[in-house]
Amino acid sequence: MTQRTLVFTGGGSAGHVTPNLALIGRLRRSGWSIHYIGSGEGIERGIVREADIPFHAISSGKLRRYFDLKNIKDPFKVVKGIWDAYRVLGRIRPQAVFSKGGFVSVPVVMAAWMRGIPVLIHESDMTPGLANKLSQPFATQVCVTFPETLRHVKGGKAVCTGLPIRDEVLQGSAAGGRAMCDFHRQKPVLLIMGGSQGSRRINDAVREQLHELLQQFQIVHLCGKGNADPALEQVRGYKQYEYVTRELPDLLALADVVVSRSGSTSIFEFLALRKPMLLIPLSKQASRGDQILNAESFEKSGFCSVLEEEQLTADVLRERLLQLYEERDVYVERMQQRAAEDSTDRIIGLIEQAAK
């Protein structure tokens, strides 16, 4: 029997890559050959290579909603990227392409359409990003995470699948996380995540209230590359990391409550693990507002507490965290009531169907 081949694409942020890894693990175990197409300069290259997946770099221009002189030359990069992807797909000859979004995915989706290869797109956020909007006309099917997103996809292509969660995220060890951080069992653990790039405002608020927070919690702080504070390395009960990958499942298992941005990948992982969460979405000044909508949806379902970035101060952060911890059992109960669904298996079923 000829081995089936699938190409993945998506990049620009960890949220455009890690859901792909959830699918790749199971597909490999069922005999699929996997390749990944991304940008040579993007975050996806390192993540994919660490997972030992063949990686093919293509030219990629950034898609901007604002004026920038780079907008003049980047369309030429996109055209070259289409040609690069067209050649790669010609060599690999996959049965299908799965795109997670991000600007690097657009040339790959278009090249696959030109070669007659079925394309499935996955949209994590409530409203489709610009890359996925441009890719939709060339897609066979569009998988969405939130039911509210269905109305944003035309042509009857959309199906609500939820978000694929990596198996390893669900298999973390609290004991492993405790040993990694040198924590004890006498205090609860607060996990703070600002996204793959970190968040200066969240970092500053935490550190301003660090002494007071340590009276209640032990703290794991994922502060982003270049944002670690050397002066705090020896503070007992406080452990800072610029970025973690394989260690994240153990840290998630260890956490009693979480502070995070509201990127879709992260919050659905917290939901699957039943972690009470305080979400601080990126403001509209710093994003297209997708994180605000994600947080509002989760808050409406009773899964989280939301703190707007404009209201973020050190004092308010501490007050809201203490309230979240006091009400943690209520949040856990609401999350447990959510019907269990395996989004990963559902999406793999759609991939199998398209590949035929």
CATH topology agreement for domains 5-162+341-355 and 168-337: yes
pTM score, whole prediction: 0.82
Over the stretch 337-351, which tens digit does the pLDDT of each residue have? 876 667 899 999 999
pLDDT (tens digit per residue) in 33-54: 999 999 988 888 888 888 899 9
Distances (CA, A) of 36 to 43, 123, 289: 13, 18, 29
Residue 144 pLDDT > 80, yes or no? yes
At residue 247 the predicted structure's pLDDT band, cuts being 50, 70 and 90, is: very high
Domain boundaries, the chain: 5-162+341-355, 168-337
The residue-averaged pLDDT of 153-171 equals 90
Helix (H) or strand (E) holding 97: strand 96-99
Which is more confident, 276 or 196?
A: 276
Q: What is the mean pLDDT of residues 100-119?
A: 95
Q: Is the pLDDT of residue 72 over 70?
A: no
> What is the Cα–Cα distance from 23 to 28, expressed in whole angstroms?
9
CATH number of 5-162+341-355: 3.40.50.2000
CA 248 to chain centroid, in Å, comes to 13
Residue 52 CA to residue 36 CA, distance in Å, equals: 10
Residue 75 has pLDDT above 80, yes or no: no
Instruction: Choose between 264 and 179: higher pLDDT.
Output: 179
Domain 168-337 sits in CATH 3.10.20.30: no
Q: Cα–Cα distance between 355 and 195 in angstroms, integer?
A: 34
Q: Which of 169, 184, 183 is nearest to 274 (CA)?
A: 169
140-144, 238-242, 265-269, range with the lowest pLDDT? 265-269
What percentage of residues in the chain have a pLDDT greater than 90? 68
* pLDDT for the residue numbered 282: 87
Q: Is 141 helix (H, G, I), strand (E, B) or coil?
A: strand
The answer to whether 325 and 317 are in contact (CB under 8 A) is: no
Query: What would the pLDDT profile of 285-295 be if each residue is shown by its tens digit?
Result: 666 788 999 99
Please name the residues in contact with 88: beta carbons below 8 A apart, sequence gap of 6 or more. Answer: 7, 35, 37, 56, 58, 111
**Would you place residue 97 in the very low, low, confident or very high pLDDT band (cuts 50, 70, 90)?**
very high
If you average pLDDT over every residue of the chain, what do you get? 90
Report the pLDDT averaged over residues 168-178. Answer: 95
